[in-house]
Amino acid sequence: MEQTTTPPSAARRSERAHQAVLTSAIEVFKELGYARLTIDAIASRARVSKATIYRWWPNKAAVVMEGFLAAVEPEIAFPDSGSLRRDLISQMVALARLLEKTRLGQMAVSLLAESQHDHSLRTAFRDQWIAPRRAVARAVIERAIERGEIDGGVDVDVVLDLLYGPLYYRLLVGLGPLDRPYIDGVVQTVLEGIAIPGK
Amino acid sequence: MEQTTTPPSAARRSERAHQAVLTSAIEVFKELGYARLTIDAIASRARVSKATIYRWWPNKAAVVMEGFLAAVEPEIAFPDSGSLRRDLISQMVALARLLEKTRLGQMAVSLLAESQHDHSLRTAFRDQWIAPRRAVARAVIERAIERGEIDGGVDVDVVLDLLYGPLYYRLLVGLGPLDRPYIDGVVQTVLEGIAIPGK
Amino acid sequence: MEQTTTPPSAARRSERAHQAVLTSAIEVFKELGYARLTIDAIASRARVSKATIYRWWPNKAAVVMEGFLAAVEPEIAFPDSGSLRRDLISQMVALARLLEKTRLGQMAVSLLAESQHDHSLRTAFRDQWIAPRRAVARAVIERAIERGEIDGGVDVDVVLDLLYGPLYYRLLVGLGPLDRPYIDGVVQTVLEGIAIPGK
Amino acid sequence: MEQTTTPPSAARRSERAHQAVLTSAIEVFKELGYARLTIDAIASRARVSKATIYRWWPNKAAVVMEGFLAAVEPEIAFPDSGSLRRDLISQMVALARLLEKTRLGQMAVSLLAESQHDHSLRTAFRDQWIAPRRAVARAVIERAIERGEIDGGVDVDVVLDLLYGPLYYRLLVGLGPLDRPYIDGVVQTVLEGIAIPGK
DNA sequence: TGTTAATCGAGACGGTACGTCCAGTCTTGAC
DNA sequence: GTCAAGACTGGACGTACCGTCTCGATTAACA
């Protein structure tokens, strides 16, 4: 993730300070939320000076972003069961749960919101958080196409948007819970929409 | 819209000041964007005191929200051509153009982002901006169900999310343009997904 | 006192409102002191509108001044016992007690302080509060001169300043209490200073 | 003077900013007077942020007080000519001139007024401005007592009040000019009052 | 006894300054 | 030479009052 949120020289002086900042960023976020989080709070929690933070990150959003990505990275597991529907639902349920129920999910939402006013943040969010998940799902879909389960003519990007878009939309706008029936409905309709025509 | 952004008494309010604030909020937004917009700038532009703004709105987001809603309200026209596809595409193209190409659309995105940290704002955005558009599209879909064009068993809310969700998602995350082919793809897949099974 | 704090027409004035304002001014002063006293507080306490206050008084200091003068006026009694020393001490003890121990005295001090930044207030304070007391003391001293008790060549204004000056000075600067020994000392020295030379 | 108007740590304070604030405070006072002086004006004149001022001083009065004391401090010269009368008159004339004719004197009066509503200010004014002058005059008087020029039984504090009190009183109340005849009169009467009885 | 005009309570208004907060930069001293 | 500690500038924030203003409702003197 360094190439987007990133240091000026990469010759990291203190790894301890680096880690402490990321950890503190997450802790402070969990306690106060994005709006009330301050760089000062992160710095003093991490027993690091503000100057150190600004040496390595351009602004507070970047710190939180990197903290978020570091904390969430390991969790991109994805089972390949052979059933397209089952795999999609499995990933979407996990994602929905994360987004809706956990602090990390709230961080993701806050960061998506914040990134609307910060271009580099938007790039980081897209490349580090959104893209990996899409890549995995894309692979699943492409395997289904190869197996002839679904129409080869579909635009996979559109399909991915049809799967993920409703989740974020519903969550951001506050239209209702991301529960199992909802996800089933979304996946069902999308699969129906991309099924092999004559089948 | 008063019932959401809400005045203390609504009675003796100066209509001149009220309008000037809303107008100025939009103008300042257009010039500076949300992040650099300040209450002071709105106040001095509107030749109104800051105290007046704070008397009637709780914070800058609420001012911008009401300004946005006032400016955008007239534009909720929606033709009923009898063709479900044509009507959906027509609304979505108009919406996509607004969101992607106009200042008002940028305001909408900013407000959606901002509303993630402000509950009352989220309610206002949902009820005043999102809901009306959904209501119109819902009517179109329900008419199609009555005509037997599409499956009566579908959850219309899911269908609406499948139509609008990708738009906002793609825009917020920055995945690509909301152009005609994209919208065609989304609508095509959704319609396919909710077609009468045997047809 | 109207000739200094002054109304526009004096005619149609509501006596009820007038009195209520003065009374409330004193009450609010007693509760909050001068610095935290506001016209709004006086107005709402008096169940009078701010406009009414501003119609009849130029600013908050003038209101408090008139309230003070109205409340304190009755207390200018002064016994003429025939003994210069006893009369002076009697007045000074009464004045010292008022200034040091009572809310009205605190009002006097506040008004003297405030009047340093407000010319009309200074005039009012001097003419309505200071002058009457000096006039009485002046009469006492002049009678003593007539009786040949003290040197006829003294400048009575200087003598009055020597009597009152230390009181206000000691109080404003906070140099010590205005107790009986102090007043005795002041009066003693002054009387010694203006005694008939050869006596 | 730090021990009264006082910093929180005094340690890492920027001397440049500190001096600039004091200097600017005096300049702004001279241009606008106390009532129209603002912290913003001092800050921008000193090219210092408001936050810096509020970090080191509790309010505008404290800033002005420290500025006043810094500017006036050097001027406590006092000749010891051997003549009590000449020395007293010399100091009082200098003080009267300062108070009545100079901006610094106006600052002193404003600060004395302001200090009526601020306890720490009163202490500072008394200890930093009033006390040093009294100390010098006290020494002069005590030397005269030692020389047997005046009555050893007098309360020196009372004498000091009799000398300074009339000056401040006359000035604050606006009773007349602090000219040479006035000062002569005051000193004359006081010296008469404390002369050795039989002399 | 009604008319009329000033005064009244209520409270929104423009304006000014306040004192606080935080972002992001810069300085200093200890290790 | 690096880092913590933390002071610094800059600038928006939201609050508090000021003194002015508009609005009907009330009231008192005159017609």
Size (chain A), residues = 199
Predicted confidence band at D8 (pLDDT cuts at 50, 70, 90)? Answer: very low
Answer for A50: CB within 7 Å of strand F: yes
Which nt is closest to the CA of C53, judged by C1'?
F19
Both tokens assigned to D11: 């340690």
pLDDT for B199: 54
pLDDT in tens, chain A (199 residues): 333 444 444 455 678 888 999 999 999 999 998 889 999 999 999 999 999 999 999 888 899 999 999 998 666 666 778 789 999 999 999 999 999 999 999 999 999 999 998 888 899 999 999 999 999 999 999 999 999 999 888 999 999 999 999 999 999 999 999 999 999 999 999 999 999 876 5
Residues B179 and C12: their CA atoms lie apart, in Å, by: 74
Question: DSSP letters along C110-167, please?
Answer: HHHHHGGG-HHHHHHIIIIIIHHHHHHHHHHHHHHHHTTSB-TTS-HHHHHHHHHHHH
pLDDT for A17: 81
Mean pLDDT of B129-150: 92
Predicted confidence band at B7 (pLDDT cuts at 50, 70, 90)? Answer: very low
- D34-71 pLDDT, tens digit per residue, is 989 999 999 999 999 999 999 999 988 899 999 999 99
Predicted confidence band at D198 (pLDDT cuts at 50, 70, 90)? Answer: low
Answer for B101: CB within 7 Å of strand E: no
Predicted confidence band at D13 (pLDDT cuts at 50, 70, 90)? Answer: confident
Distance (Å) from CA C12 to C1' F30?
Answer: 14
List all residues 6 or more positions away from C135 whose beta carbon is below 8 Å from its beta carbon: none
Predicted confidence band at C82 (pLDDT cuts at 50, 70, 90)? Answer: confident
Element (H, E) at D39: helix D39-46
Pick the more confident residue, D101 or D76.
Answer: D101
Residue D26 has pLDDT above 80, yes or no: yes
Size (chain D), residues = 199
Residue B162 CB coordination number (10 Å): 27
Which of the residue ranges A55-59, B172-176, C144-148, D13-17 has the most confident prediction, judged by mean pLDDT? B172-176
pTM of the model: 0.85
pLDDT for A40: 95
**Contact yes or no for B56/B48 (Cβ under 8 A):** no
**Contact yes or no for A143/A83 (Cβ under 8 A):** no
User: Min CA distance, D109 vs chain C (Å)?
Assistant: 8
- D171-189 pLDDT, tens digit per residue, is 999 999 999 999 999 999 9
Residue contact D168–C169, C-beta within 8 A: yes
Question: Closest residue to E10 by CA to C1' distance?
Answer: C49
Distance (Å) from CA C68 to C1' F29?
Answer: 33
pLDDT for D6: 40
Nearest to B173 among A35, A130, A174 (CB): A130
Distance (Å) from CA A59 to C1' E24?
Answer: 8
Which nt is closest to the CA of A41, judged by C1'?
E22
pLDDT for B10: 54
Residue D163 has pLDDT above 70, yes or no: yes
pLDDT for B1: 35
What is the residue-averaged pLDDT of chain B?
Answer: 89
Mean pLDDT of D131-145: 93
Please state, for a pLDDT cut of 90, what percent of chain B lies above it.
74
Residues A174 and A28: their CA atoms lie apart, in Å, by: 25
In this complex, the chains that touch C, judged by 3 or more CB pairs closer than 8 A, are: D
Residue D123 has pLDDT above 50, yes or no: yes
**Contact yes or no for D100/D152 (Cβ under 8 A):** no
Strand partners, B195: B150
pLDDT for B2: 35
User: Min CA distance, A127 vs chain B (Å)?
Assistant: 10
In this complex, the chains that touch B, judged by 3 or more CB pairs closer than 8 A, are: A
- C39-65 pLDDT, tens digit per residue, is 999 999 999 999 999 999 988 889 999
**Contact yes or no for A64/A29 (Cβ under 8 A):** yes
CB pairs under 8 A between C and D: 138
pLDDT for D18: 94
Q: Which nucleotides of E are covered by protein (CB under 7 A)?
A: 6-28
* Nearest one of B166, B184, B190, B191 to B93, comparing CA atoms: B184
pLDDT for C75: 61
Pick the more confident residue, B196 or A145.
Answer: A145
Q: Please, where are the H alpha helices in chain B? A: 2-5, 15-36, 39-46, 50-56, 60-72, 84-101, 103-114, 119-124, 131-146, 156-173, 180-194
pLDDT for B196: 85
Positions 11-30 in A, CB within 7 angstroms of strand F: 13-14, 17
pLDDT for C151: 87
Residue contact C175–D166, C-beta within 8 A: no
Mean pLDDT of B101-105: 94
Cα distance from N-terminal residue to C-terminal residue, chain D: 44
Predicted confidence band at B75 (pLDDT cuts at 50, 70, 90)? Answer: low
Residues D34 and C53: their CA atoms lie apart, in Å, by: 26
Nearest to B193 among A34, A169, A192 (CB): A192
Question: DSSP letters along C55-108, please?
Answer: HH-SSHHHHHHHHHHHHHGGG------S-HHHHHHHHHHHHHHHHHHSHHHHHH
- B44-74 pLDDT, tens digit per residue, is 999 999 999 999 999 889 999 999 999 986 6
Predicted confidence band at C198 (pLDDT cuts at 50, 70, 90)? Answer: low
In this complex, the chains that touch A, judged by 3 or more CB pairs closer than 8 A, are: B
Q: 3-class DSSP state for residue B176?
A: coil
Both tokens assigned to D145: 């007592």
Residue B12 has pLDDT above 80, yes or no: no
Cα distance from N-terminal residue to C-terminal residue, chain C: 44
Q: 3-class DSSP state for residue C195?
A: strand
